[in-house]
Structure 1
């Protein structure tokens, strides 16, 4: 049965479902499924929970965990992946690598100016210092609790300035720019080690980049050092001259002693020789014979008279005379 009411015709123009009046009405809009909404919401919440419960500590860093229930946890997180209580634990990372702070007149970004101090005599000294340090990994939680992330400005820089000033005040200006620079570094290092240890920091090195004193004072110190060096050179020359003179005296004394020893030896030798000749008279004839031989023909007769016989004279006396040649016969 058809409805003859023209007002109910399906093809009649309807301002809502069929504004043109031509063709069937459009399908109703799709409804949002509550189940799908809960699923998407669950995924989002799960993602947030996972993101809040997982933290990664980069290489060279250490993490300090603050719990909303218990406060700062004593055991810091080391490098790697860690799970924490989501929305309850909050992780703060600290750089545990070697760091440095420079205090110089030409300070770079983040650095402070040089340190003004006074020497033992009250002279103005300007020091430029670089401090190399690192935080104590095992005590990072205490550092976070007592000093916080701004520990470099609140503790480190003031301590460095104070210790450098105190150490410079123990030395004279001339010593600081000459031969006691290393001792100054050692004094500063010793004092800073104590302060850094109390603040859970580890001092690696203290480097004195430059020590400046007033130009007039530096010139006076330089002149004084030059004069002292000249005096030292002259003193060295005098010592060398004295050593040379002493060497000559020792040499002369040695030669004199050697001459005396030689004369004493010769005298003793002559004395012994005379004594020997006196005790053995035959040695006199032997000595004379040795001096005359072989040019003179001499014979020694073994008699008690102890005389020498000249063979040449005997030969002349014993040779017979030649007979005279008869004249004219």
Structure 2
């Protein structure tokens, strides 16, 4: 019988290693399966994912408990399955809620506010240890609601409809920040667990009858201001019309003093020349009056002379010859209550205007400065030509 070769060193080592496995392969297989099952089952407790903008507080079951000097940052962390990690949102948060408050008028109002805040990352360990994850209902809402009630109790309901609302919001924010700052003392860290950003008053609900009364009051106030504006506008319009009338009177005085018989004759001759130079077909009858003017002009100059001679049947001995043509009926003067504006003395006309302005001042409550200014304008206009004599325009 042939002799078998001796096994090599590697074969002997392999046989020695496989011998226990052959004897206990069933037990080893069960152990691997059990370990795999336990790993899968406990993976949710062993692996913790910290989302973006969050922080994790570690709690050791068999050691010092809550860890306050550090916290987990973003990412996936592996911990023992018997320990715990609590997540806190470190981003800016906005929480709306309603508060029932009593104002100084004794009315109950509903204030809808929105609180914007952040959790301080360096104190989330103390926040978890002292307050817990439900810090919103335990700390923030009760403290801010109390400060809102205290602040609102010192103002009236109407203040919420005015600019005082912004000041009230700042007062609530300052008081709430001071109140939240009381938490965290004694730990030697930041003065507060919560950093308050803003307390916004979103809406104020008043009783319907109170809201209607305030709205009616504001409407009445604006109507009164509108009436004051209309009165002021009419007062200025009255002054404007007086100044306009004075200017018209001065213009009429200046123009009427320059209309003479010679001026009318010259205008008639000028009109005759214009008619003669026209290329249109025409027929002009000349010699209708004593001056030989065109018939189209009528006997206006003769009527003026006749009217003047009738009105001046008993002329004054001091009248200068040739003035009779200027003493004609003035239609503007007739509308203002006199037939001859040129006969109004300067001092009498100025006194009449000043008396009229004084009456307007009493009716419209104008100031003395405005009356003085208008009186100066009237005096200047009368001095420039409104009160000049008929001979001054020749």
After TM superposition, the score normalised by the length of structure 2 is: 0.48
Change (3 A) 1:33 1:191: same
SS of corresponding position for 1:128? strand
Change (3 A) 1:102 1:219: same
Per the TM alignment, residue 50 of structure 1 is displaced from its structure 2 partner at its CA by: 7.6
Change (3 A) 1:115 1:43: closer
Which of 170, 184, 196 in structure 1 is aligned with 2:168? 184
Which of 8, 16, 34 in structure 1 is aligned with 2:27? 34
Change (3 A) 1:174 1:51: closer
Q: Looking at secondary structure, tell me which structure has more helix per residue.
A: 2
Deviations 1:54-80 (A, max 9, x none): 432111221001123112212121111
Change (3 A) 1:128 1:47: closer
1:70 aligns with 2:64: yes
| Number of equivalences | 222
Per the TM alignment, residue 220 of structure 1 is displaced from its structure 2 partner at its CA by: 2.3
Deviations 1:226-246 (A, max 9, x none): 333233334445556777644
Partner of residue 120, structure 2 = 136
Change (3 A) 1:49 1:218: closer
Which of 151, 159, 164 in structure 2 is aligned with 1:175? 159
**What is the alpha-carbon root mean square deviation over aligned residues?**
3.3
Q: Which runs of 5+ in 1 are unaligned?
A: 1-29, 104-113, 263-329
Per the TM alignment, residue 158 of structure 1 is displaced from its structure 2 partner at its CA by: 1.3
Which deviates the most, 239-248 or 175-184? 239-248
Change (3 A) 1:230 1:82: same
CA distance in 1, matches of 2:40, 2:216: 77
Per the TM alignment, residue 222 of structure 1 is displaced from its structure 2 partner at its CA by: 2.5
CA distance in 2, matches of 1:215, 1:38: 76
Q: Which runs of 5+ in 2 are unaligned?
A: 1-22, 184-191, 240-365, 385-394
Change (3 A) 1:50 1:221: closer
Partner of residue 98, structure 1 = 92
Q: Looking at secondary structure, tell me which structure has more strand per residue.
A: 1
SS of corresponding position for 1:120? coil
SS of corresponding position for 2:149? helix
Per the TM alignment, residue 172 of structure 1 is displaced from its structure 2 partner at its CA by: 1.1
Deviations 1:134-153 (A, max 9, x none): 32222211111111011111
